[in-house]
């Protein structure tokens, strides 16, 4: 495997910075790293492998010579610049929602459907799924292969970092204000997030589900390559900085015991089982932060479905939920197809 000219678009954001860190930590074969962001970040320098790399302005034509481009710059910017990057010869791995449901663009979680990377040849673009979807489908994949999942009911407890740095700052500022008996200011979220839970992520749609909830419905079916799976999601923003947690209940076509599920999950790449409730051992967001794996626990027989399981799933939303998954896609790309 050779070395490649790699670009990160949206390099100064929380996920963009995590992408740079992940490229370094995983020793991705980078020959040259280019960093792009908006005009206000012009001239800023970010560290990569002990060197300072200057941030350039994201604009048409800036991807000449780039072979792999990691995008973390929002849907509208991706729609504008991803085709330009692909036309310049780069393969784009996009973290926004802009391309996920395009039938010509593969939607990839490497532990689940790595073969789908081959679809990059259609448009030169690969979509990185939504953070909450990624961490759910990783542990569900071996269970689906064994027992075929029919239905998924999921409630998420999503960290403020999923809404960006300003959202994390708002949680910090509101917490300080409340502890000092001062009024809180709400700019990022419609209501107070400190010491509160908001059952509202992204906009509400005509069916009264949010866009985030429908992402989980649509993306799960595409990634699992099974459009018979039904998904009902309730997504909640909670006062946590990093780490999404999910309560997942599934119904399967055939019986699968909690013990068998634990066996399958313990042997599946990217999953760590932490399940010893008698000793208070189960996944925690604070322990998942900074880790690459998806943590699963509280695995138990569901009391509603005849063939059902319930579980608790936790992961770092900035890493496996975004930056790491994108870099893992790039690893499959250069290893198998470039």
251-262 confidence digits (pLDDT tens): 999 999 999 999
Based on the fold, state whether residues 273 and 240 are members of the same structural domain.
yes
Based on the fold, state whether residues 266 and 144 are members of the same structural domain.
yes
pLDDT higher than threshold 90 for residue 74: no
Its pTM surpasses 0.75: yes
Beta bridge partner(s), residue 7: 34, 69
End-to-end CA gap in the chain = 9
Based on the fold, state whether residues 311 and 162 are members of the same structural domain.
yes
Based on the fold, state whether residues 285 and 305 are members of the same structural domain.
yes
User: What is the distance between the alpha carbons of residues 131 and 141, in angstroms, rounded to a whole number?
Assistant: 16
Query: How many other CB atoms sit within 10 Å of the CB of residue 177?
Result: 15
Calculate the average pLDDT of the chain: 97
User: What is the distance between the alpha carbons of residues 130 and 289, in angstroms, rounded to a whole number?
Assistant: 17
Based on the fold, state whether residues 86 and 204 are members of the same structural domain.
no
Number of residues written out for the chain: 338
pLDDT at 2: 82
Residues 6+ positions from 80 with CB-CB distance below 8 Å: none
Q: Which residue has the tokens 């673009």?
A: 125
Domain residues for the domain of 116 are 4-129+322-336
Question: pLDDT tens digit string along 268-324?
Answer: 999 999 999 999 999 999 999 999 999 999 999 999 999 999 999 999 999 999 999
Are the beta carbons of 90 and 82 closer than 8 angstroms? no
**Domains contained in the chain, number:** 2
Share of the chain above pLDDT 90, in %: 97
| Dihedral over alpha carbons 4, 7, 11, 14 (to 10 degrees) | -50
Based on the fold, state whether residues 166 and 305 are members of the same structural domain.
yes
User: What is the distance between the alpha carbons of residues 65 and 37, in angstroms, rounded to a whole number?
Assistant: 18
Based on the fold, state whether residues 81 and 108 are members of the same structural domain.
yes
C-alpha 55, offset from chain centre: 24
Based on the fold, state whether residues 179 and 159 are members of the same structural domain.
yes
User: What is the distance between the alpha carbons of residues 305 and 260, in angstroms, rounded to a whole number?
Assistant: 17
Question: pLDDT tens digit string along 176-193?
Answer: 999 999 999 999 999 999
Question: pLDDT tens digit string along 157-178?
Answer: 999 999 999 999 999 999 999 9
Q: At what angle do helices 258-266 and 131-147 cross, to 10 degrees?
A: 120
pLDDT at 1: 59
Question: Which positions are annotated as active-site residues?
Answer: 131, 244
CATH number reported for the structural domain that contains residue 29 in this entry: 3.40.50.720
pLDDT at 43: 85
Based on the fold, state whether residues 139 and 125 are members of the same structural domain.
no
Based on the fold, state whether residues 136 and 125 are members of the same structural domain.
no
CATH number reported for the structural domain that contains residue 200 in this entry: 3.30.360.10
Residue 118 has φ and ψ, to the nearest 5°, of -55, -25
**Which regions of 21-171 does DSSP assign to beta strands (E)?**
30-37, 45-48, 51-57, 68-71, 91-94, 125-127, 149-158
Are the beta carbons of 158 and 317 closer than 8 angstroms? yes
* Torsion sign across C-alpha atoms 264, 269, 270, 274: positive
Three-state SS sequence of 199-242: CCCCCECCCCCEHHHHHHHHHHHHHHCCCCCEEEEEEEECCCCC
SS3 content of the chain, % helix, strand, coil (to 5): 35, 25, 40
Q: Can you tell me whether residue 180 is helix, strand or coil?
A: coil
Based on the fold, state whether residues 213 and 308 are members of the same structural domain.
yes
Phi/psi region, residue 76 (left: phi>0; alpha: psi -120 to 50; beta: rest), is alpha
Question: pLDDT tens digit string along 1-49?
Answer: 589 999 999 999 999 999 999 999 999 999 999 999 999 888 899 999 9
Q: At what angle do helices 324-336 and 14-25 cross, to 10 degrees?
A: 50
Pairing relation of β-strands 45-48 and 51-57?
antiparallel
Based on the fold, state whether residues 116 and 138 are members of the same structural domain.
no
């Amino acid at each position: 495997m050779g070395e490649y000219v790699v670009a990160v678009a949206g390099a100064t954001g929380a996920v963009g910075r995590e992408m740079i860190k992940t490229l370094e930590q995983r020793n991705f074969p980078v020959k040259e790293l280019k960093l792009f962001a908006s005009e206000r970040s012009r001239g800023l320098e970010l560290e990569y492998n002990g060197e300072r790399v200057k941030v350039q302005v994201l604009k048409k034509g800036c991807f000449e010579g780039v072979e792999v481009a990691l995008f973390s710059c929002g849907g509208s910017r991706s729609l504008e610049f991803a085709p330009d990057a692909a036309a310049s010869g780069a393969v784009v791995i996009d973290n926004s929602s802009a391309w996920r449901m395009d039938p010509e663009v593969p939607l990839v979680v490497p532990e689940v459907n790595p073969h789908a990377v081959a679809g990059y040849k259609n448009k030169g673009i690969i979509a990185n799924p939504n953070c909450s979807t990624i961490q759910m489908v990783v542990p569900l994949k071996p269970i689906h292969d064994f027992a075929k999942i029919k239905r998924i009911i999921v409630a998420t407890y999503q960290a403020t970092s999923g809404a960006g740095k300003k959202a994390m700052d708002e949680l910090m500022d509101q917490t300080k204000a409340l502890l000092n008996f001062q009024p809180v200011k709400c700019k990022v979220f419609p209501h107070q997030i400190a010491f509160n839970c908001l059952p509202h992520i992204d906009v509400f749609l005509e069916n009264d589900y949010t866009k985030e909830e429908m992402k989980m419905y649509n993306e799960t079916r595409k990634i699992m390559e099974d459009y018979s799976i039904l998904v009902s999601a309730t997504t909640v923003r909670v006062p946590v900085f990093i780490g999404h947690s999910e309560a997942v209940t599934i119904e399967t076509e055939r019986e699968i015991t909690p013990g068998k599920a634990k066996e399958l999950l313990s042997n599946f790449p990217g999953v760590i089982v932490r399940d010893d409730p008698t000793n208070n051992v189960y996944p925690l967001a604070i322990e998942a932060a900074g880790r690459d794996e998806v943590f699963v626990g509280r695995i138990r027989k569901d009391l509603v479905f005849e063939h059902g399981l319930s579980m608790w799933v936790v992961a770092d939303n900035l890493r496996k939920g975004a930056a790491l998954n994108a870099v893992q896609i790039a690893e499959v790309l250069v290893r198998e197809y470039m």
